[in-house]
Every structure is written in structure tokens, then in C-alpha cells.
């Protein structure tokens, strides 16, 4: 039984400056990705509004549960992680809910 207090451990930590720089780079990358996500979400919403308008003009029901199931399946099938299928489902359910809310607001304005 050796005394662990006498052992020297290798210092695997990076100096604070390197850590701060790397964190800054990663946070900048996250900000750029967030900007892309916001842009894509708005593009998706615009497209969903157009679909809703076409369906409304044609007298079709705007809510089609089978399409929602297909959208969620497609999102899960294209997922390569690290987010799990459940996380992808929850995120896309929220996106779909917000798009549906946007469609209702657009219908109220007409």
C-alpha cells in the first residue's frame, strides 16, 4: 500500500488562456450554428404557411395527422446523433406546433 499523497500526477489541464480561447471559438461556432438554425426555421415556417394557404384555398383540411407522422419519421430517420430519436421527435413536434400556431394566426388575419 503506497501513500498516494507522494505521487505526482501529470498536469493534463491546458493553461487558462488556451481554454478561454478554445471556449470562445466553440461559442462563436455555436452562435453561427444558431443563426443558421433560426434562418432555417423561418424558411421552414414560410414554406409551411404556403402549404397551409394552398390547402385552405383548395378546401382541404389543414391538419393532416398522417403527414405529421411522416415528418417525424423522416426527421428521426435522417438523424445521425448525438441527439437521440426521442429528442429529435420532441424538437420537431415543437417546430410543427409553432408552424401550426403561425397558420392559425395567418387565418385569423384573413
**Distant-in-sequence, close-in-space partners of 106: CB < 8 Å, separation ≥ 6:** 49, 52, 53
CA pair distance 100, 44, nearest whole angstrom: 12
Q: How many residues does the chain have?
A: 110
- Low pLDDT (below 70) residues in the chain: 1-15
Domain boundaries defined on the chain: 16-109
Position 15 scores a pLDDT of 67
Count of beta carbons in the 10 Å neighbourhood of residue 82 = 6
In CATH terms, is domain 16-109 a member of 3.30.930.10?
A: no
Q: Which three cell numbers stand for residue 27?
A: 461559442
Position 11 scores a pLDDT of 58
CA pair distance 49, 14, nearest whole angstrom: 50
Amino acid at each position: 500500500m503506497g501513500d498516494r499523497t507522494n505521487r505526482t500526477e501529470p498536469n493534463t489541464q491546458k493553461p487558462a488562456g488556451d481554454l478561454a480561447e478554445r471556449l470562445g471559438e466553440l461559442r462563436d461556432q455555436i452562435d453561427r450554428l444558431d443563426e443558421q438554425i433560426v434562418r432555417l426555421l423561418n424558411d421552414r415556417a414560410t414554406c409551411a404557411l404556403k402549404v397551409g394557404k394552398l390547402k385552405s384555398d383548395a378546401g382541404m383540411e389543414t391538419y393532416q395527422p398522417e403527414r405529421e407522422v411522416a415528418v417525424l419519421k423522416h426527421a428521426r430517420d435522417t438523424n445521425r446523433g448525438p441527439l437521440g430519436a426521442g429528442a429529435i421527435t420532441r424538437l420537431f413536434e415543437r417546430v410543427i406546433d409553432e408552424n401550426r400556431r403561425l397558420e392559425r394566426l395567418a387565418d385569423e388575419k384573413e
